[in-house]
Structure 1
Amino acid sequence: MYPAYAYPKSRFQPQKPVDLNAREERERLSQAALKGFFKLAAAWSVRDDDARELLGGLSSSSYYDWKKNPQRVLEVDRITRISYLLGIYKALHILYGDELADRWVALPNKNAIFAGGTPLAYMQAGGLLAMQTVRRLLDARRGAV
């Protein structure tokens, strides 16, 4: 039998995760999420059609309405997508200089995940799970896992 080890007490107090199923939480986060997404899309020079795909296939009229007036409550899927994309943006800026960080998603990538394609194309084709994969890859590269 192994001896019982006591871990030292931590000063870290875990926070309760945000419940995106709660409308109040989505109301609180949606406007900032949309504003962040549109800034990210501009920084990455993502075409509007590609940005609509990243949001889960949003129609043109809705996309431009959201861009003009981001005061709305997003669905769980869309706010989760934006959360992953903002995490990817942050990780890229930690790993690389600003210029490369903002170009990275549009550059062909030899990593087996991307198979020579661009991370943007991979995320468009794979949706939410692909965004999660890219986020995890970048977090692992920066040692945040």
Structure 2
Amino acid sequence: MTAIAAKKSPADARRMGVSGLRAAFNILDMWGCSAEQAQAILRLPKATYYKYRNDPASARLDRDQLTRISYLLNIHQALRIAFSNPENVYGFMRKQNHNPYFHGRAPLDVIESGDFGALYETFRRIDALRGGLW
């Protein structure tokens, strides 16, 4: 949980999680993710994914899921800072990347594994595009 969320009441933290989930769904849609990819990235079972898609306010997210959402939001923000062109902001995640970590794979192909480490490492490399220091 982030330091900001730790200072919030449980109701405020829950609202932040629901808002983050809505934003994450929108971002994943803009990246062209399939339902299966989104389920793996967010670590949501199929039935739960569809329940939350239809009613985000019903979401009960654990710390891992909240952290995954946070990384997705931060990846999106880094892309928005690095690129002014919407095709790059939303298309970057589907483009082959020949930097050493990606080895010709698209960042989305890396994070769709659902592996938390892959999401973190992808975030680090994309954050570096905007000049972020990790």
Using the size of structure 2 for normalisation, the TM-score is: 0.85
Aligned residue pairs: how many? 128
Percent sequence identity is 29
Question: For structure 1, which runs of at least 5 residues remain unmatched after alignment?
Answer: 1-15
Structure 1 residues 64 and 126 mapped into 2: Cα distance closer, same or farther (>3 Å)? closer
Q: Structure 1: which amino acid aligns with 2:24?
A: F
Q: Offset at 1:113? A: 0.6
| Residues 90-128 of structure 1: per-residue CA shift (max 9 Å, x gap) | 111211221111111111110111111111111122622
Q: Offset at 1:54? A: 0.5
Contact 2:96 2:105 in 1 (8 A): yes
- Kindly indicate which of the two structures has a greater share of residues assigned to helix: 2
Match of 1:81 in 2: 68
1:121-140 aligned at under 5 Å gives the runs: 121-125=109-113, 127-140=115-128
Which of 56, 59, 62 is the aligned partner of 2:48? Answer: 62
Which of 72, 92, 98 is the aligned partner of 1:110? Answer: 98
1:3-18 aligned at under 5 Å gives the runs: 17-18=3-4
> Who wins on radius of gyration, i.e. which is larger?
1
Q: Offset at 1:136? A: 1.5
Distance in structure 2 (CA, Å) of the matches to 1:35 and 1:126: 19
Distance in structure 1 (CA, Å) of the matches to 2:24 and 2:102: 23
Contact 2:41 2:113 in 1 (8 A): no
Structure 1 residues 132 and 66 mapped into 2: Cα distance closer, same or farther (>3 Å)? same
Q: Structure 2: which amino acid aligns with 1:18?
A: I
Match of 2:34 in 1: 47
Moved over 6 A (4+): none
Distance in structure 1 (CA, Å) of the matches to 2:125 and 2:63: 23
Q: Which structure is richer in relative contact order (CA contacts within 8 A, separation 6 or more)?
A: 2
Using the size of structure 1 for normalisation, the TM-score is: 0.79
**Comparing 81-90 with 131-140, which one deviates more in the overlay?**
131-140
